[in-house]
Amino acid sequence: MRVLTHCLSFGKPRSLIGLWLGLSGLLAAIALLSLLYGAGDVGPARAWQALQDLGAAASYDSEAHFVIAELRAPRLWIGLVVGAALGIAGALLQAVTRNPLAEPGLLGVSAGAAFAVTLAILWGADTATLRVSVAQLGALGGCLCVLAAARLQGIGSDPIRLILAGAILSGLLHSLSSLILLYDQHTADEIRFWVVGSLAGRQLDDLVPLFPTLGVATLLTILLARPLAALALGEHVAIGLGHHPRVVRLLVIVVVALLVGGATAAAGPIAFVGLVVPFAARALAGPDIRRTLWLCLPLGPIVVVSADIVSRLVVPPSELPLGVLTALIGAPVLIGVVRGRRLPTL
Amino acid sequence: MTHDAPACERDTAQPDTAPDMTAPDMATQGLSLAYGSVAVIEDLDLQLPAGQVTAIVGPNGCGKSTLLAGLSRLLKPRGGTVLLNGTDIRHQPTRQLAKRLALLPQQPHAPEALTVAELVRFGRHPHQSWLRQWSLEDKRIVDEALDMTGLTPLAQRPVDALSGGQRQRAWIAMAIAQQTATLLLDEPTSALDLGHQVEVYELIQSLAASGKTIVMVIHDLVSACRYADHLIAMHQGHVIAEGLPGETVTPELVRRLYGVECSLITDPATGAPLLTNVRRTRDALDGSAT
């Protein structure tokens, strides 16, 4: 028993486990809410009744049953996966660029994935599996552009300038995507809603092609957490401790591309989740990337699923696209972070 | 690069077993270091005595930090080798090397809110793996390192809330937890006031007394004389003098290194050479007058 407690002692063991359990509980509650509330006719009372009937052999309210099983549950699952992926991708990208503002959506990684998918659909690709790999390749391209920009004189060392470079890349890619949509009606119909980022109308089948690459990303994240934590002490210290900063950085970029590409393929480009979630995780658990990553796991889905619930409720019976909502929440947070006391260093 | 044959024999004859028990012998053979196309050090042969404090001194830009970067594999040599226990450090995986050679860069920066204990735990990284994570043994070694550096009462404090001397001691504690036989330090006392400097130097001396080989780059010649067992004076990429501080430091050497005149006396309390009446040389004065 003592050995076990020592094994788990990463500074604030009890507080981390407590936090994690608390947040997981909160996430469970929010997940339940996301099954109960929607923009349609099935209200919380009917949904609750239908949920209780799910265990029973026969369901009495087939409409409520359909809404929950076929519409809300797939949405919830995708929200969970997308939230976790984006939260962790944000934390990783911030650790590797040592920039608290580095967010996949702001740095053009999501835009790269979206642009690649737009191109793929324009050229006739239509299967979900292909969409995932194309989005991940696009995200990788976006990542590499960002890193190239970070290597330019003066940009890498200044968080704000890196964000500016990313904003320019994002803007360019969004314009190109819009241009394609303007000229090609078929592509536009195919992805009009997807391109603003949304969980609506997604099927569980959209999620399956993500699993292989998300599995690889998870495995790599587990392997990379320790060297990445050492990298926070500086490149030379990390080398002195026997790590390979270059290899670590390259693998982290691959993981970010897999996560953001996968999330974007499933839900479209969703900005600011990768900024807000790691920011909250660091505020709760301190700067160690290992603790940040653990907390991003429940925090990411909390943010995405809550935002999705709100997106269904603000303008009933219509819905607000999730990407619009996260931008509405995230932009003030970004402004707050930039305007607040000096930027926290990573 | 041609090597000195007897030196090679001597080095390879060193037993390579149990590196933590026998003090290692660090040496360079024909070492050439360069940043890009600018050669900083060329064809340098150097022996670093085991179990002693070696201080590398010299004027700004003389190549002393470059040399340390070469010794610590941060900078890949353009030619020649760095030998640790007679083996080329480039032939060892960086993680294996991290068990033998610890490294403290100049003014390292800890992330906000990282505690002393958390920082020192990083020193166990080269000894840990996915199968062998945090163990009781690691905890014992970390506690020992905290104890040796007098930081046990401050273990839970954030590193950035410490005084300069305490902060540097915390980083050294991390290097101690690495349990290497050799420790390389790049200007460990830069930006520290006198009291904190002494605090760090005395810790470094006690580490050497416990058997570690210490190699440090320092600016301050007086401190080098006071705390080092072995002095290496560098000028424009060349070692121009080395040996016991008391025998090596002369007014001529000081003039060549720094372009200043001085008188030397022996510190009656420690026996170390002391520089007095330091002033610009007549050459320099003439140069500034014209």
Mutate to test the interface with A, among B122, B167, B172 (most CBs of A within 10 A): B122
> Side chain identity at A84, as an amino acid letter?
A
Sequence-distant (≥ 6) Cβ neighbours of residue A13 within 8 angstroms = A5
CA distance, residue A223 to nearest chain B CA (Å): 8
CB B192 within 8 A of CB B2: no
Mean pLDDT score, B272-278:
88
Q: Between chains, do A243 and B94 touch, taking CB under 8 Å as contact?
A: yes
Q: Between chains, do A241 and B98 touch, taking CB under 8 Å as contact?
A: yes
Domain residue spans in chain B? 5-100+182-196+213-251, 108-179
Q: Between chains, do A233 and B119 touch, taking CB under 8 Å as contact?
A: yes
Q: What is the DSSP string of B72-120?
A: TTSS--SEEEEEETTEEGGGS-HHHHTTTEEEE-SS--PPTT-BHHHHH
* Partner residue facing B108 (CB), from A7, A237, A244: A237
Tens-place pLDDT, residues B23-60: 457 999 999 999 888 889 999 999 999 999 999 999 99
Sequence-distant (≥ 6) Cβ neighbours of residue A114 within 8 angstroms = A135, A138, A173, A174, A177, A195, A264, A268, A269
> In which band, very low, low, confident or very high, does the pLDDT at A190 lie, cut at 50, 70 and 90?
low
A244: closest chain B residue by CA: B94
Nearest Cα residue to B60 out of B106, B111, B101, B3: B106
> In which band, very low, low, confident or very high, does the pLDDT at B6 lie, cut at 50, 70 and 90?
very low
Q: What residues are paired with B243 via a beta bridge? A: B231
Domain boundaries A100-337, corresponding CATH code = 1.10.3470.10
User: Average model confidence (pLDDT) for chain A?
Assistant: 81
Residue A5 has pLDDT above 70, yes or no: no
**DSSP state at residue A71:** I
Which residues in chain B (44-103) have CB-CB distances under 8 A to chain A? 72-74, 93-99, 101-103
**DSSP state at residue B24:** P
Q: Between chains, do B126 and A287 touch, taking CB under 8 Å as contact?
A: no
* Partner residue facing B110 (CB), from A233, A243, A244: A233
Which pLDDT score, from 0 to 100, does residue A106 have?
Answer: 81
Q: Which residues of B touch A286 (CB under 8 A)?
A: 113-114
Residue A2 has pLDDT above 80, yes or no: no
Q: Between chains, do A244 and B122 touch, taking CB under 8 Å as contact?
A: no
CA B102 vs CA A80, A326, B124, B175, B205: distances in Å: 43, 46, 11, 6, 16
A284: closest chain B residue by CA: B113
**Which pairs count as long-range contacts for A202-206, CB under 8 Å and 24+ apart, including other chains?**
A202/A74, A202/A75, A202/A78, A202/A266, A202/A267, A203/A74, A204/A73, A204/A74, A204/A77, A205/A128, A206/A74, A206/A78, A206/A128, A206/A265, A206/A266
Which pLDDT score, from 0 to 100, does residue A57 have?
Answer: 56
Mutate to test the interface with B, among A8, A233, A288 (most CBs of B within 10 A): A233
Q: Which residues of A touch B120 (CB under 8 A)?
A: none
> In which band, very low, low, confident or very high, does the pLDDT at A154 lie, cut at 50, 70 and 90?
low
Q: Which residues of B touch A13 (CB under 8 A)?
A: none
Tens-place pLDDT, residues B163-197: 888 999 999 999 999 999 999 999 999 888 898 89
Token match 């006071």: residue? B226
Mutate to test the interface with A, among B65, B106, B114, B178 (most CBs of A within 10 A): B114
Three-state DSSP state, B8: helix
Looking at chain A, the whole-number percentage of residues with pLDDT higher than 90 is 25
Question: What's the ipTM?
Answer: 0.84
Phi and psi at residue B215, in whole multiples of 5°?
-125, 120
Tens-place pLDDT, residues B123-148: 999 998 777 778 889 999 999 999 99
Which pLDDT score, from 0 to 100, does residue B71 have?
Answer: 93
User: Which listed CATH number (3.30.428.10, 3.40.50.720, 3.90.260.10, 3.40.50.300) goes with B5-100+182-196+213-251?
Assistant: 3.40.50.300
Which pLDDT score, from 0 to 100, does residue A125 have?
Answer: 67
Phi and psi at residue B280, in whole multiples of 5°?
-70, 145
In this structure, what token pair is assigned to residue A327? 């931008």
Q: Which residues of B touch A226 (CB under 8 A)?
A: 125, 128
Which pLDDT score, from 0 to 100, does residue B170 have?
Answer: 94
Which pLDDT score, from 0 to 100, does residue A180 have?
Answer: 83
In this structure, what token pair is assigned to residue B87? 């083996």
Mean pLDDT score, A163-173:
85
Q: Which residues of B touch A10 (CB under 8 A)?
A: 118, 134
Mean pLDDT score, B12-25:
45
Strand (E) or helix (H) holding B199: helix B194-209
Residue A12 has pLDDT above 60, yes or no: no
Tens-place pLDDT, residues B91-104: 889 999 999 999 99
Tens-place pLDDT, residues A273-293: 998 899 889 888 888 898 899
* Partner residue facing B126 (CB), from A3, A242, A345: A242
Element counts in chain B: helices (H) and strands (E): 11, 12
